[in-house]
């Protein structure tokens, strides 16, 4: 069975990706390979940040790996927070990030937003990219207790529940990460 490193220590992301990939691959985290540094994400795009992480692991550990960068873009905020989604408020405190985003949208009618994930896969010395995107709306207040990140304030188009009100299975069937991971999985299975 193919072994891949997912260049993250985010347990929520690892759980989501394992659920999507099921038992088709042996998935290892950074912790599993003994990597305990916080790999810098200094790029201006999701692609650059994902590639920084996958390239670091491939270069320093010699392993096939993939990394993602994900974020929320809000149309009326010039696509903020974008690549700064995890530290929008200047910290990694998601409560502060959500509060700032909702504050910045006060009185704004256009609440169109998208979640985007870009995966950078380095396999046998080649780099491949896979993107997932889901469009939706930002709520006026938090809804739900499940999920993580901006899930409590994002309702995907065609749904009435926020990501945080959905079961893990429901979210994993439609999320931006699920779309990108499905493309990754289809690519790997087709090789």
Using the predicted structure, report yes or no on whether residue 63 has a pLDDT greater than 80: yes
Helices 11-21 and 176-189: crossing angle in degrees, nearest 10, is 50
Each domain of the chain, given as residue ranges in start order, spans: 3-189
pLDDT, the chain, mean: 93
Architecture of the domain spanning 3-189:
Alpha-Beta Complex (3.90)
Contact partners, residue 124, CB within 8 Å, separation at least 6: 64
Taking only the tens place, the pLDDT of each residue in 138-176 is: 999 999 998 889 999 999 999 999 999 999 889 988 999
Q: Which of 69, 93, 135, 186 is catalytic?
A: 69
Percentage of the chain beyond pLDDT 70 is 99
Output the pTM of the full model: 0.90
Dist CA 138 CA 96 (whole Å): 16
Q: Is 69 a catalytic residue?
A: yes
pLDDT of residue 24: 77
Using the predicted structure, report yes or no on whether residue 106 has a pLDDT greater than 90: yes
């Amino acid at each position: 069975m193919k072994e891949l490193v997912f260049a993250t220590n985010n347990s929520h992301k690892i759980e989501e990706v394992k659920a999507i990939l099921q038992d088709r691959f042996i998935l290892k985290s950074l912790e599993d390979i003994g990597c305990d540094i916080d790999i810098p994400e200094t790029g201006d795009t999701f692609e650059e940040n994902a590639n920084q992480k996958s390239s670091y692991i491939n270069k320093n550990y010699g392993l096939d790996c993939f990394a993602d960068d994900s974020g929320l873009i809000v149309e009326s905020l010039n696509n903020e927070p974008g690549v700064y989604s995890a530290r929008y408020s200047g910290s990694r405190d998601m409560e502060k990030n959500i509060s700032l985003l909702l504050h910045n949208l006060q009185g704004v009618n256009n609440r169109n937003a998208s979640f985007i994930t870009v995966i950078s896969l380095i396999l046998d010395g080649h780099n491949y990219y896979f993107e997932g995107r889901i469009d939706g709306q930002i709520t006026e207040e938090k809804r739900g207790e499940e999920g993580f990140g901006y899930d409590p304030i994002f309702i995907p188009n065609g749904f009435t529940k926020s990501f945080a009100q959905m079961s893990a299975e429901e979210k994993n069937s439609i999320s931006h990460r699920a779309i990108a991971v499905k493309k990754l999985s289809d690519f790997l299975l087709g090789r």
